[in-house]
A and B are shown apart, each in its own frame.
Chain A
Amino acid sequence: MPEVYVSDLPNKPQSSHNSRPDVTRHRHLPDKKALPGYTRSRVAAYCYYPDHVKFVGADSQEKVVLLLRRHMITNLGWIVTSILLVSTPIVLLVFELLSFVPANVLLVGLLFWYLITFAFILEQFLSWFFNVYIVTDERVFDVDFIHLVYREMTDANLDQIQDVTVRVGSVIRTVFDFGDILIQTAGEVPQIDFEAVPHPDRVAQVLRELRVEEEIEKMEGRVR
Chain B
Amino acid sequence: MFISDIPGIGGSVDMIFKILVSIGFVFYIIFAFVIVKQVNKMTDTLEVGLEKTLRAFALLHLLFAIGAFALALTIL
Give residues of chain A (92-133) contacting chain B, Cβ–Cβ below 8 Å.
Answer: 100, 102, 104-105, 107-108, 111-112, 115-116, 118-119, 122-123, 126, 129-130, 132
Neighbouring A residues of B9 by C-beta, 8 Å: none
Q: Which residues of A contact B (CB under 8 A)?
A: 42-43, 50-56, 67, 100, 102, 104-105, 107-108, 111-112, 115-116, 118-119, 122-123, 126, 129-130, 132, 143, 145, 148-149, 151, 153
Neighbouring B residues of A53 by C-beta, 8 Å: 46-48
1/0 per residue, CB under 8 A from A, across B55-74: the answer is 00110010011001001100
Complex CA gap A132/B35 in Å reads 19
Complex CA gap A11/B10 in Å reads 86
Chain A: minimal CB distance from B31 (Å)? 7
B42:A130 contact, CB within 8 angstroms: yes
Number of interface residues of B (CB under 8 A): 34
* 25 A-B pairs (CB sep. < 8 Å): A42-B49, A50-B48, A51-B49, A53-B48, A55-B45, A105-B17, A105-B76, A108-B21, A108-B71, A111-B71, A112-B72, A115-B61, A115-B65, A116-B28, A122-B61, A123-B35, A126-B54, A129-B42, A129-B50, A145-B38, A148-B34, A148-B38, A149-B34, A149-B38, A151-B41
B75 close to chain A: CB less than 8 A: yes
A153:B45 contact, CB within 8 angstroms: yes
Neighbouring B residues of A119 by C-beta, 8 Å: 31-32, 35, 61
Chain A: minimal CB distance from B5 (Å)? 10
B47:A52 contact, CB within 8 angstroms: yes
Neighbouring A residues of B38 by C-beta, 8 Å: 126, 145, 148-149
B11 close to chain A: CB less than 8 A: no
A112:B24 contact, CB within 8 angstroms: yes
Complex CA gap A153/B41 in Å reads 13
Using CB atoms, name the residue of chain A closest to B44: A56
